[in-house]
Chains A and B, each alone.
Chain A
Amino acid sequence: MNPRKKFIVSHAPFWHNGSNIPERSYHTLLAALPAVVVGLHYWGMAAVAVVSLSISSAILWELAINKVTKKTVTIGDGNAALIGLLFAMLLPATTPWWAVLTGTFVAVVLGKQIFGGIGGNSFSPVVLSVAMLSISWPHLFDFDGMLVNYDLDFVMVYPLAAVKHFGAGTAADFSFGDLLTGRQVGGIGATFGLGLIAGGIYLIVRGFIRWEISISFLAGIFVAALIFNLIDPTRWAGPMFHLLTGYTLVGAFFLATDDSSSPVNFVPMLIYGAAGGVLTVLIRSIGAFEDGVIYAVLVINLVQPLLDKIRPKALGKVV
């Protein structure tokens, strides 16, 4: 006889432990806030406009689709607000209003509601939206072009563009101190490394995201970048540079960890995260794009149903 008790079920009444979707959403919003606040500090009123409009329009798009489809109003769960904030974090501060409205529409309606709402989406809504917008209007995600009129007291060149086009030697222009403290060109909420790491650790400690995905994503980036760097240090930048630039940290802690588009078991989560990290570096190093996080996360989102089939199979997944 196996004496181990696997699962104990008792009869009613049950006591809810208080954990729910709104709590999850608002804690994630809170975790992202330090990175956003530092972004607003550097990029000013233009960034305030983008972040505010993004959050409000995401909520309003969700409300509109709830009304049109005559379903229960779900904006109270905070997920739409979270989508709006995460989407804004990836944008340059000078993004025009129409692009923000289009992006939140794509994220909330095409990325989430069309699949039946929260929990049914195959892809991270934010990642899907950024991918679609960056293909439709590539200039909107050309940080060098979008931020030409900013004159801040740090290197005003998008680090990943510099390294990709002018060689790994340019990585030396960017100090790790600057990269960690948000003193780099990039998305409004994607540049403050320390804030993103702190937010990520908070979410992991509170159990809102799984460390397996974030850590394996970062490990995948580190190892792949290290291999490229060892092969040709003049052509490919080192692993620490890749960890602190572009969408790496926001991707590891806020995008790849999206609930319904990531696997649930230990080994699948490790494979999922590591594959995302490796793909990111592959795209950055030998692909066509400067940053690879968006397409890497899209691809791992795509394979996650297969990963969930690794035994023991995930229970209760609908995607």
Chain B
Amino acid sequence: MSDYAIEATQLVREFKNGPRAVDGIDLGVSPGEIYGFLGPNGAGKSTTVHMLTTLLPPTSGTARVAGYDVVSEGSHVRAAIGAALQEAALDPLLTGREHLRLQASLQALPRGERNQRADELIARVGLSHAADRKVRGYSGGMKRRLDLAMALVHSPSVLFLDEPTTGLDIQSRTALWDEVARLAREDEVTVFLTTQYLEEADVLADRVGIIDHGHIVAEGTTDELKAQVGRPTVEAVPADPEEAARLAELLARFGDPCGSTKGVAVRLETGDTGLADVVRALDDAGIEVANLWLHQPTLDDVFLAKTGRSLEGSDDDEAEPARGELAAEPV
């Protein structure tokens, strides 16, 4: 018997007249872990989730969730898991509270517990004010929160979240992240989270798997993955443009030059600790800089290194926060 909450071995899903959406992936997610499944559109993330949640039978390979086989013990798997899928399919004619009661009834919660559980979850996801309104009037963020609450009705041990924050505003996204983190930390729920947002995986996931064209191309903690692709970069813009050549000469002592659109940049040989030496050297040389940044490698760099291209969907809005790991304010 395995110790994993989610385990897959050579899992394959092939569609008729189509490519292999998932092509022999191996997974092992420990109980209480948040596993981020990162990849661009069409990489195979949702297909994997559909197989692990028993919505789609695998073409070949095996998978066990909460200790049960997804093919032969599907009913046990469904009783143990909660899932909020990409399209929050809700009934526009039901209220939020009615959705939760329906879900509780589907999961065979005792009648006495249903209302109590519904009230508790409505409050937890911040929908108390709208609980008795039909969901056709809900915003996208409210629907997502209701969807999450429904997935939690029966206190599942494993939670699948398929791109849970797509289309949400920053506030809703942050609130959902807080709740997911709390579930893993306090309730010891195993969370399998698919996303195409680098920041989401970075902030939430204990470990990340990167999937591309149905294959897992990299797996590990975010730090491990970033360490695989390289060292941090220091970038400086001289206060006086005439000093650019001297600045480049000085920075070259700390690492290999690399491209910069704003000033001069080098990949530090000594990692993060080199920044202090750079600042001291600039001071000693009397070179005044207008801006100085320390760029950590991002998951996008990891994706780029592993697949040869940048992650789709990581538009500027998403990429910037990852770059936001700037350790030093402009000097």
Q: Do A and B come from one complex?
A: no
| Chain A residues within 8 Å of B, Cβ to Cβ | none
